[in-house]
Amino acid sequence: MFRIHVEQIIGKDIETVFEAISDHARYDRFPGVGKSLLIEEGRDEKNGTGALRIIGAGRLELTERITKFERPNRMHYRIEQSSPFSVQHTKGEIVLMPEGEQTRVTWISEGHVQVPLLGRVMDRLAERSFSKAFRSLLRAIERL
């Protein structure tokens, strides 16, 4: 099982950070993201609860559903499909808290890479690579 927990303070106000994190169709502006599509709009907001997005980085492609959307503090998501390997995703959660003019972002993702015999190794690789990717995305938001 992989468990990713990234916490970072960004020197931007909470509304700016939340908008950047929740704007799925523009993730391709972040380092390493080559594909970013909003496939289905959310029920109450375009990027809100129910929205379906595809995020691609290299050969990895994730189809994610937004399961909770509470502007500007919280967004939960679930990976519904992935390739080239399957991921059983049990938790995807991004929480934002204002700290003066800055924003504390806590990003948690948990699950299991489903590859026979190599699942545990792949989980460890996923922890490292996704942690690095989440941090990179947050640094890019700070530079916007």
Distance CA 141, CA 30 (A): 8
pLDDT digits 0-9 by tens, 22-53 = 998 888 889 889 999 999 999 999 999 999 99
pTM for the full predicted model: 0.93
Instruction: Lay out the sheet containing 102-114: strands in order across.
Output: 2-10, 102-114, 86-99, 74-83, 60-70, 52-57, 35-40
20 by Cβ neighbours in 10 Å (0-12 / 13-18 / 19+) ranks as buried
Give the chain's domains with CATH numbers: 2-143 (3.30.530.20)
> In 10 A of CB 59, how many CB atoms?
9
* DSSP per residue, 77-128: EEEEEEESSEEEEEEEEEEEEEETTEEEEEEEEEEEEE-TTTHHHHHHHHHH
pLDDT digits 0-9 by tens, 68-126 = 999 999 999 999 999 999 999 999 999 999 999 999 999 999 999 998 877 788 899 88
pLDDT the model gives residue 26: 86
Distance CA 89, CA 136 (A): 21
